Structure 1
């Protein structure tokens, strides 16, 4: 299960979705999707920046148990 990030945590650090990938050789690569295709980036500066944004997102995320509670709370508000 993926942990949730409540709205109160503010905007995500990146407006563009991306995936961190580790190659067989242990190097990190970032893959970003755009409306007209995707692109891989492997420069250390870009990869480091994306890892920092991911760490910030993880820090804002709720624990798995708190995520379940949060989803249940929202569901009660929406479906009652």
Structure 2
């Protein structure tokens, strides 16, 4: 009998639990709304610096990553309010 799919499922569940614990630890420092505000402050400072520093070929990619982080914390905040 092949037990590989079961083993993969268990390791994926363990990884998901580990991710969840890390998110819980992160949110124990500040709530999701505070993280979003802090992210906006960091990104605003970064974009002001980038304007002074010149062209950034990765600027769009950084914005997309930033946007995903904001959406992540927004979703987490919604989950914790339920």
Q: Shorter-chain-normalised TM-score: which range?
A: 0.3 to 0.5
**Higher relative strand content:** 1
**Higher relative helix content:** 2
Q: What's the TM-score once normalised by structure 2's chain length?
A: 0.34
